[in-house]
Amino acid sequence: MPFPNNFLWGAALAANQCEGAWNEGGKGESIADHLTAGSRTKPRRFVKDLNLDKYFPSHTGVDFYHRFEEDIALFGQIGLKSLRLSIAWSRIFPNGDDAQPNEEGLRFYERVFTTCRENNITPIVTLSHFEMPYHLITAYNGFANKQVIDMFVRYAKTCFKRYKGLVKYWLTFNEINFGTLSAGRLFCLGLRDAAQENYFFTSGDETEHYQALHNVFLASARAVISGHQIDPQNQIGCMIANGLAYPLTPKPEDVLATQQRADWFNNFCGDVQVRGSYPSFAKRLLAKRGVTLEITAEDEATLLAGKVDFYSFSYYSSSCIAADPGNEGEGNLIAGQKNPYLQTSDWGWQTDPSGLRLTLNRLYQRYQVPLMVVENGLGAIDTLENGAVNDPYRIDYLRAHVEAMHQAIDEDGVDLIGYTMWTAMDVISAGTGEMAKRYGLIYVDRDDLGQGTLTRTPKASAVWYHDVIASNGDSA
């Protein structure tokens, strides 16, 4: 069986990584606006006071805010059938707790989605992609505060109502399972004590941490319920960062440790969002860590009523786990140890297309709901030479993953409905804040100091992907 006829071939973006215009059109400050630029070896830092002499990558992004019409036209020329992008919550509710939504922000995305329609592109819209209004952290302590659930639901409803008929596919929270890591305490949960320089590695009260994650689950479930009420056509999914890991050796202790890691990092959040209840292992693990959550009967009913329609995930690489940890991997915050059988990218991420097929099988067997791969790609250094970018390494990466998806559909019977590779065009890297770590089908002339003409140049991978889409996967 080939790829289904209506397969959502596409590419992805996130508002804080591409839009720029951080304080235009009535937009408020978001968490992302407070992150400095870093590199593979130098972590991004969170700073409270925006000293505007400094360079903050999200403030200018790659100027999608002003160039979206030509950008989406280019995506149309590549033949993209779908575009995953996010709405910056702080464009719609600049402070999060505003009495009224910001009309200028609402109109901006209306124009974006209308431009998608004009180019025959189906939008897949993430409501929250690491860009919570900053005021919600300082004034409310983020999702630790139940009032923030109401604010998110109001934001979600505002979007569902305004974009009814223009948007059908929605994702609630990007990579919600980063909320289980210390790194996610700021960018997923918005916890005040994580809003500090070394934001990736903060620790704090675990009960507050997991109560905040619970509140994010409730916010997501209530958004799903409202989204279905507002438009029964809406298809609303979860979004999980896949952290596939293999046992480093066949030692039973390594196999067990790998399963435990997979349960905690991959399965916990997905189970809550797809099945509508906490898995037993998560309840036990939390209890053993001395974390007692306040989960009411009403909460349980909400989670059950707010189950998602499909499961989406990001997939970049895999790693290995040993019961005795030894050297932890670097380069990717969900990495374990290096796999001797796999190639490693310039940023330390290992390429593993078979792992995508394995992941698709595991997920489909676990959940039996349609799947979508909403991020997958290669961050690499590209060079513009004589007006062209030749990126055979990216084509190889993408081709191998398209083949893995084809096998999962054709040989294994997985119900896969879409693929939005990361990214449609070069954007700011989330992890490092660099431009140098490029994933795009389209090259953007911009460097790590924020210099460059911002000119867009489709890469060789764009030409390749055009043919893949036109042949519905046959020419990969």
Shortest Å, Cβ 336 to ligand P53? 13
Return phi, psi of residue 337, to 5°. Answer: -95, 160
Shortest Å, Cβ 129 to ligand P53? 6
Query: Residue 208 corresponds to which tokens in the numbers above?
Result: 């507050």
Shortest Å, Cβ 38 to ligand P53? 10
| Residue 314, strand partner residues | 241, 375
Of positions 271, 375, 382, 426, contacts ligand P53 by CB under 6 A:
375
Query: What does each C-alpha distance from 10 to 356, 421, 476 come to in angstroms?
Result: 17, 6, 14
Of positions 158, 174, 202, 339, contacts ligand P53 by CB under 6 A:
174
How many Å apart are CA 459 and CA 61, to the nearest integer? 19
Cβ contacts of 233 within 8 Å, gap of 6 or more:
168
Q: Which helix (H) or strand (E) holds 456?
A: strand 456-458
Which ranges constitute the DSSP H helices of 231-314?
252-262, 268-275, 280-288, 297-305
Of positions 92, 373, 430, 469, contacts ligand P53 by CB under 6 A:
430
Query: What does each C-alpha distance from 455 to 3, 59, 376, 429, 447 come to in angstroms?
Result: 34, 18, 24, 18, 12
Stretch binding ligand P53 (CB under 6 A), from 49-57, 330-338, 391-399, 402-410: 330-338
Verify binding: residue 352, ligand P53, rule CB under 6 A. no
Shortest Å, Cβ 47 to ligand P53? 18
Q: Which helix (H) or strand (E) holds 173?
A: strand 169-173
How many Å apart are CA 447 and CA 453, to the nearest integer? 10
| Residue 427, strand partner residues | none
Q: Each residue of 43-57: b (16+ CB within 10 Å) or e? A: bbbbbeeeeeeeebb
Shortest Å, Cβ 99 to ligand P53? 31
How many Å apart are CA 227 and CA 90, to the nearest integer? 20
Shortest Å, Cβ 387 to ligand P53? 26
**Binders in 222-241 for ligand P53, by CB under 6 A:** 241
Verify binding: residue 357, ligand P53, rule CB under 6 A. no
Shortest Å, Cβ 39 to ligand P53? 11
How many Å apart are CA 77 and CA 89, to the nearest integer? 29
**Binders in 81-140 for ligand P53, by CB under 6 A:** none
- Nearest CA among 257, 87, 284, 254 for reference residue 172: 87
Of positions 128, 314, 351, 376, contacts ligand P53 by CB under 6 A:
314
Cβ contacts of 64 within 8 Å, gap of 6 or more:
13, 18, 19, 20, 71
- Point out the catalytic residue in the list 375, 403, 411, 434: 375
Verify binding: residue 420, ligand P53, rule CB under 6 A. no
Site string for ligand P53, 263-302 (x = CB under 6 A): ----------------------------------------
Shortest Å, Cβ 196 to ligand P53? 18
Verify binding: residue 429, ligand P53, rule CB under 6 A. yes
* CA atoms within 13 A of residue 393's CA, in its CB half-sphere: 15
Task: Please state, as a whole number, how many other Cβ atoms lie within 10 Å of the Cβ of residue 274.
Answer: 21
Q: Is 375 a known active-site residue?
A: yes
Site string for ligand P53, 51-70 (x = CB under 6 A): --------------------
- Point out the catalytic residue in the list 29, 175, 208, 434: 175
Q: Is 175 a known active-site residue?
A: yes
How many Å apart are CA 111 and CA 343, to the nearest integer? 42
- 204 burial level (CB within 10 Å; 0-12, 13-18, 19+): middle
Verify binding: residue 379, ligand P53, rule CB under 6 A. yes
Stretch binding ligand P53 (CB under 6 A), from 160-168, 355-363, 422-430, 444-452: 422-430
Minimum CB distance to ligand P53 smaller for 145 or for 314: 314
**Binders in 433-472 for ligand P53, by CB under 6 A:** 437
Stretch binding ligand P53 (CB under 6 A), from 141-149, 160-168, 404-412, 428-436: 428-436
- Nearest CA among 376, 377, 242, 263 for reference residue 319: 242
Minimum CB distance to ligand P53 smaller for 145 or for 351: 351
Verify binding: residue 334, ligand P53, rule CB under 6 A. yes
Of positions 8, 14, 282, 444, contacts ligand P53 by CB under 6 A:
14
Minimum CB distance to ligand P53 smaller for 227 or for 431: 431
Shortest Å, Cβ 173 to ligand P53? 11
Catalytic residues, by residue number, are 175, 375
Residues that bind ligand P53 (CB under 6 A): 14, 17, 174-175, 241, 314, 316, 332-334, 375, 379, 422, 429-432, 437
